[in-house]
Structure 1
Amino acid sequence: MPRAFRPPLTALCLALLPATGLLAAEESAVPTKEPAPVAERAPLTERSQQDASGLERRLPAREQQQLQAGGESVLALWQPAYSGESSGLVILLPGAGESADWPEAVGPLRRSLPNAGWSTLSLTLPDPSGDPLPPRPLKTEPASKAEPAASPEQVEEDGPASTEQAGSAEPNTDPAPPPLSREAIEKTQSGRVFARIEAALAFARQQKPKSIVLLGHGTGAYWAAQYLTSQEPADVRNLLLVAAEQPVGYEPALEESLPLLKLATGDFYYKDQPTAHDAALLRLQASKRQKHPAYIQIAMNSLAGDRATEQEQLVRRVRGWLSLHVQAGERKGNMPDS
C-alpha cells in the first residue's frame, strides 16, 4: 500500500510564519492606555462645618438661622423668649472644638434662658487653627492587569518606558509654599471670628432687644472680650464669661484686656480647678487695679460625677446675674428704633 504524502515539517513552519507576524503586528498597533490624570484633591471639611451639618439634620428648622459672615454661610441656633416681652437677647459663643449646641454651658443656656424671658442666639465658630487644611486622600483605582515587576538589571537596560515615566523619575524641584506666619494665622482667625459675631449682632438688632449680652464659654469668652475691646459696639453693654480660657499663643492676655472694658461683666469660674482658680485670681486683681466699676466674679463647684446638676447650677447663676446686673445698651445710629 503506497504511503500517504505528508508535507515536511519545515514547510508547515514556514506556512505559520505569516500568521504569527500578523498577530504581532496587530498587538503592536493597539494603542497603550494613557494613565488617568490625577484629580485635584478638595480640602477637608472643617470640624465646625461637620458639626453644623449634624445640627441641621437633628434640630428643627425653626431653630436654625443661616448667617452670612465674611462670604461664609454660618449656622446659628435661635430661640426666642417664651414670654410676651423679652428681657433681652444673649449671644452664645462656644469654645474651641465645641458646637452651637454643646452639652456644657452652651446647649443648656440656649435652651433654658428663654424660660426666663431671654432670647438666645448660639453661634458656630470656625476651627481654632488658621493653618490650611490637609487635602483629602485620593482613591486609588485597582490596576486592570497585574504586571510582573521588572528586575533592576532590566530597568537599567531598558530605561524609562516613556517620556512621562522619565519625567516622573526626576526629583520635584518646585519650591514648597512658604508656611503661614503666626501673625498671619492669628489675623485670619480673628477676622473670621469677628465676622461671625458681627453677623450675629446684625441679626440680634433686627429683633430690637432691650439689651444685648455677649456670653462666651471656654475660648469663646476670650473672643467675646477681644471683639468688644477692638470694636466697642455701643449697644452691647454686658459681657459674661463662663470657664474662660485663652487660646494658646494668642495675645493680649485676658486679664490685660478685660479690665479695660467698662461693661457689666460676670466672670463665672470653677474654684476647685487649680488652673481656672489661678487665672480667675489674675483677672480679679487686674480689675481692682483698673477700678472696674461693674466686674463681678461668681465661683462655682465642678461636679464631675453629676454633670446635669452642674449645668443646672450654672443656669441658675447666669439667670440670677441677668436679673440683677444687666445694663441696657445705647442704640447705635444704624440700629432700628423700637
Structure 2
Amino acid sequence: MRAMLLLSILLLPLCALAQEPASTADATAEIAEPGTRIESPSRSALYEQALERKLPTQEQRKLDFNGESQLGLYMPAARPEGLGGVLLIAGPGEHADWPNLIAPLRRQLSDAGWNTLSIGLPDSPPLPDSALNDTPTDNTDPQDGAVEQGLQAADNQPDQAPPAEDAAADYATRCTQLIQAAWKVLSAEGNEYITVIARDASGYWALRAASPPVSGQPPQALILFQPREPELADQPTFQLLLEQWDKPLLELINSGSAQGEIQAREHQRIAQRAGHDQYKQWDTDYLQDSMLAEDMLQKRIEGWLERLVETQAAGSTASAKAAMTP
C-alpha cells in the first residue's frame, strides 16, 4: 500500500507535464497558422519609433507624400531671421538623425542661422518572399528597451535588394515626392532660398527631384557628399542629370579610391562640357586621417553656404537696380 502511494506521488508531475504542451500548441496555433510568416517592422519604422521618443516633439514633422507619411526633423535658425533653409537627406538605410554628417550639420547650421530639415529616404520595395525566408531578421521591439536599442534593432534589419524593373518607377516617384514634400515644409517656414545636402545615393535622388521637368520649384543649390548612383533599371543616369543642372552645385568626392578618382574626373568633364561655371568639386581625401575631419568639413560647408547667400543677395540687389533704371 505504501509502495502504491509513493508511485502515485511520483507520477503526478509527469501527468501535468504531459498535458502542458498540448495547451501551449493550441495557443500557438491560434496566434499563427502553419506556413504563415509574421511581418517584422521595417527599418525606417523602427528608426521612427526610436527617434520619436529620443527627440523633442517640436522638432518632429510628418511629411505626407504618395499616400504615405514619414518623419522629418526640423530645427529653426538660432537668430531672429534665418539665412535660408537647408534640407539634409540621409543615405539609403539611414535615418533623419544619422550620426555621420546629417545630425552634426543639422545642429551646427541651425546655430549658424539656418533653418534645417533632415529626412531619410523611403523604404525600397520589399524583397521577394523567397529572399525574406532565407534572410535572418531582428524582431526587437524598441518599446522593450532604450532608444539606442531601438536604433540598433533598425540597424540590424537586412538591407533590401535593388528594386525590380516594375517597381523602379514607383520608387522614383516616392523619393521625388518625399523630397518635394520636404521643400514645402521649409517653404512654409518662410525660407526663400533652399539648399539640399545629400549623402551617398541620396545625392542622385536630390538631383533627380530638383531637375526639370519633375520639379515645380527646385532648390537654389545642391551639396552632394560622395554621391553614388543607385541600381535602378530604365531610369535617368546621374551623368545625364548633372548635365541638365545649371545652378550652384558643390560635389564632395573622395579621390582616395580608384572609383572616386574616376568619378571626380568624369563629373568635372561633364560640368566643363556643359559650361557649368557654378559647379565646384572638393576632394575630401585629405580629411581621412584628421582627428578634426568632421569639424573641418562642417566649417567648409557652412562657409560655402554663406558665400552663396552673399552672391544671391548681390544678384537680387543688382536686378532690383536694373529694374528701377529708366
Task: Say yes or no: TM over 0.5.
Answer: yes
| 1:211–1:235 Cα contact (<8 Å) kept | no
Q: Which amino acid aligns with 2:256?
A: D
Paired position in structure 2 for 1:61: 57
| 1:125–1:193 Cα contact (<8 Å) kept | yes
Distance across 1 between alignment mates of 2:209 and 2:66: 15
1:320 paired to 2:315: no
CA-CA distance at 1:303 after TM superposition: 4.4
Q: Which amino acid aligns with 1:209?
A: N
Paired position in structure 1 for 2:277: 293
Say if 1:228 and 1:235 are closer, same or farther in 2 by CA, change over 3 A. Answer: closer
Paired position in structure 2 for 1:109: 105
| 2:163–2:232 Cα contact (<8 Å) kept | no
1:254 paired to 2:238: yes
3-state SS, counterpart of residue 77 of structure 1: strand
Q: Deviations over 1:252-298 (max 9, x none)?
A: 33122112111111111223233222212211111111111311112
3-state SS, counterpart of residue 231 of structure 1: coil
Q: 2:178 aligns with which of 192, 196, 204?
A: 196
Q: Deviations over 1:27-47 (max 9, x none)?
A: xxxxxx9x7572864533221
Distance across 1 between alignment mates of 2:262 and 2:116: 30
Distance across 1 between alignment mates of 2:128 and 2:175: 16
Percent identity over the alignment? Answer: 29
The structure with more radius of gyration: 1
Count of matched residue positions in the alignment of Structure 1 and Structure 2: 256
Spell out the pairing of 1:272-287 with structure 2 (5 A cutoff).
272-287=256-271
Q: Which amino acid aligns with 1:268?
A: L
Unmatched tracts of structure 2, length 5 or more: 1-25, 138-161, 317-326
Say if 1:252 and 1:324 are closer, same or farther in 2 by CA, change over 3 A. Answer: same
3-state SS, counterpart of residue 49 of structure 2: helix
CA-CA distance at 1:129 after TM superposition: 4.6
Q: Which amino acid aligns with 1:82?
A: A
Distance across 1 between alignment mates of 2:37 and 2:43: 18
**TM-score scaled by length of structure 2:** 0.70
**TM-score scaled by length of structure 1:** 0.68
Paired position in structure 2 for 1:223: 205
Point out the more displaced range, 66-75 or 228-237. 228-237
RMSD: 3.0
Paired position in structure 1 for 2:92: 96
CA-CA distance at 1:103 after TM superposition: 1.4
Q: Which amino acid aligns with 1:239?
A: L
Distance across 2 between alignment mates of 1:97 and 1:107: 15
Paired position in structure 1 for 2:141: none
Q: Deviations over 1:69-102 (max 9, x none)?
A: 2222211011111111101001111111211111
3-state SS, counterpart of residue 283 of structure 2: strand
Unmatched tracts of structure 1, length 5 or more: 1-32, 138-179, 331-338
More helix by share: 2
Distance across 2 between alignment mates of 1:93 and 1:237: 16
Distance across 1 between alignment mates of 2:210 and 2:164: 23
